[in-house]
A and B are shown apart, each in its own frame.
Chain A
Amino acid sequence: MRVHLPALDHGVMDPASVRYAIRIHGHLGATVLSAFPALVSQHHGADTVLTGLLDRSALYGVLAEVEALGLELVEIRQLTPQRRSPESGDSRSP
């Protein structure tokens, strides 16, 4: 059973969260949008762009919903550069 969990307050005080823009083909109506309570939607032409602060697992949760609802994913973009801690030296691309 897939349970749509209520929105968690992603992003607030969470340094690992990054702002993402997720572009989906078509205009999402209220029903489908209710699957993405943590994201704000805006129509761009024939597409819908969902934006919000997401950490990794929240992002994958969103992608799983996109898959489950049969939506056509056009683009995912990070809007704010990901902060890296200077000690980590992590240079892998995101």
Chain B
Amino acid sequence: MDRAGPRLIGRGDLLATLDRAVAKKVTIISAPAGSGKTSLLRAWADRPGQPHRLAVMQVQRDQQDAQQFWLALLTAVRQACAPTSRAEPPTATPDFNGRAMVDRVLSELADLRGLLILVIDDLHELISPDALAQLTRLLTNLPGDAHAVLATRRDLPLHLQQLRLAGELAEIRAADLRFSERETRELLDASGVALSDAGAALLHQRTEGWAAGLRLAVISLAGHPDPELFVAEFSGSDRTVAEYLIAEMLERQPDDVKDLLLRTSVLDRVNGELADLLTGSQGSERILLALEDANAFVVSLDPERTWFRYHHLFADLLRLELRRALPAEVPGLHRRAADWLIQHGHIADAIRHTQAAGDWPGAARLLADHSFSLTIDGQAQTVRALLRAFPPGAPADNPELALIRAGLNIARGRLDEAAAHLAVAELHAETTPPDRQRRLRVAIASLKLSLATRRGHLASVTEQAKFLDSPVTGQSDEDIALDNDLRAVALMNLGTVEASLALADAERHLREGAVLARENGRPYLEVRCLAQLAFASRVRPFATTRRRCQEAIALAERHGWGLEPWIAPALITLAANLVWTGELGEGERWLQRTERALQTDTGPDIRLLVHIVSGMLQTGRGRRHEALREFSAAEHLGSQLADSHALASQVTGWLLATQARVGLPGEARASLAALDDERAGSGEVGNARAVICLAEGDPAAALATVTDVLGGTAPVIGYVTLVETYLLAGLAHRELGDQRAAHQAAERALGLAEPDRLVLPFVMTGSGELLEALPRHETAHAALLADIRDVIRGSSLAAKDQSSSPPAEELSPTELRVLRYLPTNLSRPEIASELSLSVNTVNTHVRNIYAKLHARDRSSAVQRARELRLLSAGLMR
């Protein structure tokens, strides 16, 4: 931030105060507008030889979007830390998880070497209770080498008592910021103002050392023909300091400068081009640069000095003056600004200006056109704020705004309200102009799908959304891009419903959605489509399914989304896949990771899958009672969905079979009798019936049941069901004393299981003895048999494929250094002293190591690190 001619005086005492303050963990500068907070921070940050590494951010005006705030903070921290990570730049998502974000910032801060000071200016602009609560957590957990300085106009509800009690909170308040008489003199001298000592004293007294007042006065005094007279008149006036001085200052500016200041005051940020547009003249950039050089409340926002903003107090007064002096011009200025902003992709700002121009229908249209994209860009909170700005009543009959409200309600789980808004949108869709009809219909269909998915009303809606299949015939490029966002979302919703119903089109729709999202530069949408695609691929050969899961997870991790709830479909599918093949340890780790990802999501649709896979895992470990609990929970969640889901018969079948196996065939029979015909006629329930018959000691009846399934009259979910059926047939033959038929059935099961190396059905059906009886030389499946035998004996198979291990996130170099000490018997304080780190820092690293390795304690972390070969020197970086 080196620029010509700063007129900030040294204010050495104040800088020293701040230096002393930042030795504490947190410093709060709390003082009213114009007290010189930002100037102090700039002077302190930019002074030659500034010894600290700084991450500086300024909260955007009226920031209501917690995610935007946190992304700016994370970006500032990353810029300060130099780009060591290969991670993608932080991208907003519609499902912002504040807690995870704070963890992310904390872990980046914990990886620092050396001091870093996080500077947050204008914190009072953050109007988000969530963000303030999250910030409190960040501030109270700052790792050893990180400090923070906050500047705000008013005291904020940050709960920092803990820090205060620990003596780690410093405060600088208005009285500390006030200019002393000596500093007033220095400021005048530095600005070349010749004023008597009496005049200087009078000026100091009149402004009460208020920084903004003094700076405004100096601008007018510089080059004033009679400075003493100016001060005398100012002093004799009863008007408020700021208003008097701004009027004086404007009075002294040439007309073009005055005009520029007034007209561009409607903007939050201004550049030369935009200023030219609003003033209708040329050369605005030169004026802006000159104003900044004169320290006239104009500051540049980028190193190239193309964007500028006005001091907030100054801008507010200019805006009032504009409305008074040129009231008729104001709407036109906002409209011109909106046009420019929309052309340059600043959508939210453009909508705000359209609203400020009083053009409510225009603002509604803009918001409707862009709400999907804004939401995908993680700006749902911004969309909500924009919606609130509409006057009451106006949007009620606007179908497009109703649709936006529906979408926001779905995202927050307010499904009844969403349905009501959707009904309004549909009602008014007929009267929508033809050019907007199609977009509206696509949006309505897409939201209905999304609502249906959340409610489990599946079958009813897929048909009416079929028209999404037809490509959009585009208008302008921009329209196509908008439509592509909308279409990608619609395809995702459609594919998700189809995947839940195991419909064949699911994979095609999700793949199309992912491709469209990638082309449109929407990684969030792409990841979501891929995660659903992974789930939809569960019927594919296992190698394909695993690859798709891993692709989705890898892309999510690159964006730091590895633990977001919406990646869960891929996580759980991978876990299931591993359990099927007997890799129980790996499966369990992915299952645990799924549960961590789902901390904030309790939707029955996905929870159901977690219980199914947990039940499979327990079955694989021979813990049938635990498995029974999981299958019961899955069955219960399934019953909460309006329509039956793709795995419904699987859950029911396994639940009944497990009941029979733990010695409750009577209860299983009763449940069986209560099933509807469709469920009762499924192959999965057919298998369960056979298990019940076997448990009742009636192998002949069991055999009769499985014959139906094998004969193809009972629909099955997939071939995995048939593997079980053959095994049950084998068990029944064996009970009936027909060894030959038993061998044949077991061989058929092995043959079916071989391509995917399925192990679970053999364990589940208790086929150990059946397999042991097979003549060794006759079977072509010796390797698979060995695997099955291992799992039945209680050992989990090692992961066949290293890439399926979940090293959730890469360990940082410091974490790796700490990790190397974990196998030793050194305590944490001893490790800290070995590495010259504080115990707190080591604790943070250890916490992160556990999280990243999915370990519960030191020994499991070491075990896991060994498996991942993280302890060997070869991999050390």
Residue-wise, chain B 397-431 has the 8 Å CB interface mask toward A (1 for contact) of 00000000000000000000000000000000000
Q: Which residue of B lies closest to A70 (CB)?
A: B33
Query: Does B61 touch A at the CB level, under 8 Å?
Result: yes
B349 nearest CB across to chain A (Å)? 7
Cβ contact within 8 Å between B62 and A31: no
Cβ contact within 8 Å between A26 and B240: yes
Residue-wise, chain B 319-362 has the 8 Å CB interface mask toward A (1 for contact) of 11101100000000000000000000000010011011000000
Neighbouring A residues of B61 by C-beta, 8 Å: 1-2
Neighbouring B residues of A4 by C-beta, 8 Å: 319-320, 323
Q: Which residue of A lies closest to B266 (CB)?
A: A1
A30-B324, A31-B324 known; A67+B240 contact, CB < 8 A:
no
Q: Which residue of A lies closest to B313 (CB)?
A: A70
CA distance in complex: A89, B266 (Å): 47
Cβ contact within 8 Å between A32 and B313: no
A1-B268, A26-B241 known; A31+B154 contact, CB < 8 A:
no
A2-B62, A29-B244, A70-B212 known; A46+B32 contact, CB < 8 A:
no
Query: Does B102 touch A at the CB level, under 8 Å?
Result: no
Cβ contact within 8 Å between B238 and A69: no
B651 nearest CB across to chain A (Å)? 52
Neighbouring B residues of A34 by C-beta, 8 Å: 320, 323-324
Cβ contact within 8 Å between A29 and B349: no
**Residue from A1, A3, A43 having most chain B Cβ neighbours under 10 A:** A1
Query: Does A25 touch B at the CB level, under 8 Å?
Result: yes
Cβ contact within 8 Å between A69 and B316: yes
Query: Does A10 touch B at the CB level, under 8 Å?
Result: no
Cβ contact within 8 Å between B320 and A32: yes
Q: Which residue of B lies closest to A29 (CB)?
A: B243
Query: Does B504 touch A at the CB level, under 8 Å?
Result: no
CA distance in complex: A31, B242 (Å): 11
Query: Does B312 touch A at the CB level, under 8 Å?
Result: yes
CA distance in complex: A62, B44 (Å): 34
CA distance in complex: A30, B241 (Å): 14
Cβ contact within 8 Å between B313 and A29: no
Query: Does B856 touch A at the CB level, under 8 Å?
Result: no
Residue-wise, chain A 47-86 has the 8 Å CB interface mask toward B (1 for contact) of 0000000000000000000011111100000000000000
Cβ contact within 8 Å between B33 and A1: no
CA distance in complex: A33, B320 (Å): 9
Q: Which residue of A lies closest to B125 (CB)?
A: A2
CA distance in complex: A29, B245 (Å): 11
Cβ contact within 8 Å between A32 and B317: yes
Cβ contact within 8 Å between B238 and A27: yes
Neighbouring B residues of A70 by C-beta, 8 Å: 32-34, 210, 212, 242, 313
Neighbouring B residues of A26 by C-beta, 8 Å: 238-241, 243
A75 nearest CB across to chain B (Å)? 16
Cβ contact within 8 Å between A28 and B352: no
Cβ contact within 8 Å between A68 and B320: no
Q: Which residue of A lies closest to B315 (CB)?
A: A2
CA distance in complex: A17, B231 (Å): 43
B670 nearest CB across to chain A (Å)? 56
Query: Does B396 touch A at the CB level, under 8 Å?
Result: no
Interface residues on B, range: 35 or more
A-B contact count (CB 8 A): 81
Neighbouring B residues of A72 by C-beta, 8 Å: 240
**Residue from A27, A28, A31, A43 having most chain B Cβ neighbours under 10 A:** A31
CB contacts under 8 Å to A, within B58-109, are 61-62
B762 nearest CB across to chain A (Å)? 67
A76 nearest CB across to chain B (Å)? 16
Number of A residues contacting the other chain (C-beta, 8 Å)? 23
CA distance in complex: A69, B321 (Å): 12
Residue-wise, chain B 225-264 has the 8 Å CB interface mask toward A (1 for contact) of 0000000000001111111101100000000000000000
Cβ contact within 8 Å between A31 and B247: yes
Residue-wise, chain B 25-53 has the 8 Å CB interface mask toward A (1 for contact) of 00000001110000000000000000000
B263 nearest CB across to chain A (Å)? 15
Q: Which residue of A lies closest to B244 (CB)?
A: A29
A31-B324, A69-B313, A70-B313 known; A1+B352 contact, CB < 8 A:
yes
Query: Does B153 touch A at the CB level, under 8 Å?
Result: yes
CA distance in complex: A32, B320 (Å): 7
Residue-wise, chain A 1-40 has the 8 Å CB interface mask toward B (1 for contact) of 1111000000000000000000011111111101100000
A66 nearest CB across to chain B (Å)? 10
Cβ contact within 8 Å between A28 and B240: yes
Cβ contact within 8 Å between B32 and A67: yes
Neighbouring B residues of A30 by C-beta, 8 Å: 324
Q: Which residue of A lies closest to B32 (CB)?
A: A70
Neighbouring A residues of B238 by C-beta, 8 Å: 26-27, 43, 46
Neighbouring A residues of B242 by C-beta, 8 Å: 69-71
Cβ contact within 8 Å between B316 and A2: yes
Q: Which residue of A lies closest to B239 (CB)?
A: A27
Q: Which residue of A lies closest to B213 (CB)?
A: A70
CA distance in complex: A72, B212 (Å): 14
Neighbouring A residues of B154 by C-beta, 8 Å: 67
Cβ contact within 8 Å between A68 and B240: no
Neighbouring B residues of A28 by C-beta, 8 Å: 239-240, 243
Neighbouring A residues of B317 by C-beta, 8 Å: 31-32, 69
A6 nearest CB across to chain B (Å)? 9
Neighbouring A residues of B266 by C-beta, 8 Å: 1
A63 nearest CB across to chain B (Å)? 10
CA distance in complex: A2, B60 (Å): 11
Neighbouring A residues of B312 by C-beta, 8 Å: 68
CA distance in complex: A43, B238 (Å): 10
A67-B153, A70-B34, A70-B313 known; A29+B62 contact, CB < 8 A:
no
A21 nearest CB across to chain B (Å)? 18
Cβ contact within 8 Å between A69 and B356: no
CA distance in complex: A1, B341 (Å): 14
Neighbouring A residues of B321 by C-beta, 8 Å: 31
Cβ contact within 8 Å between A67 and B320: no
CA distance in complex: A30, B324 (Å): 8
Neighbouring B residues of A69 by C-beta, 8 Å: 33, 242, 313, 316-317, 320
A69 nearest CB across to chain B (Å)? 6
CA distance in complex: A70, B239 (Å): 13
Neighbouring B residues of A35 by C-beta, 8 Å: 316, 320
Cβ contact within 8 Å between B243 and A68: no
Q: Which residue of B lies closest to A47 (CB)?
A: B238
CA distance in complex: A70, B312 (Å): 10
Cβ contact within 8 Å between B356 and A3: yes
CA distance in complex: A72, B207 (Å): 12
Neighbouring A residues of B244 by C-beta, 8 Å: 29
A50 nearest CB across to chain B (Å)? 13
Q: Which residue of B lies closest to A37 (CB)?
A: B323
CA distance in complex: A72, B174 (Å): 13
CA distance in complex: A43, B240 (Å): 12
A26-B239, A67-B154, A69-B242 known; A31+B320 contact, CB < 8 A:
yes
- Select which of B33, B241, B349 is within 8 A of A68 by beta carbon: B33
CA distance in complex: A28, B239 (Å): 6
CA distance in complex: A78, B153 (Å): 26
CA distance in complex: A4, B324 (Å): 12
CA distance in complex: A28, B495 (Å): 63
Q: Which residue of A lies closest to B316 (CB)?
A: A68
CA distance in complex: A46, B349 (Å): 40
> What are 13 A-B pairs with beta-carbon distances under 8 A?
A1-B349, A1-B353, A3-B355, A24-B240, A29-B240, A29-B243, A31-B243, A31-B320, A31-B324, A35-B316, A43-B238, A69-B317, A70-B313
- Beyond the given pairs A69-B242, A70-B242, 19 more chain A to chain B contacts, judged by CB atoms under 8 angstroms and listed by A's residue number, are A1-B266, A2-B62, A3-B355, A26-B239, A28-B243, A29-B244, A31-B246, A31-B247, A31-B317, A31-B324, A32-B240, A34-B323, A34-B324, A35-B316, A67-B33, A68-B312, A70-B34, A70-B212, A70-B313
Interface residue ranges, B against A (CB under 8 Å)? 32-34, 61-62, 153-154, 210, 212, 237-244, 246-247, 266-268, 312-313, 316-317, 319-321, 323-324, 349, 352-353, 355-356
Lowest 10 CB-CB distances: which A-B pairs, in order? A26-B240, A70-B33, A27-B238, A70-B34, A27-B239, A31-B321, A29-B243, A31-B320, A32-B243, A3-B356
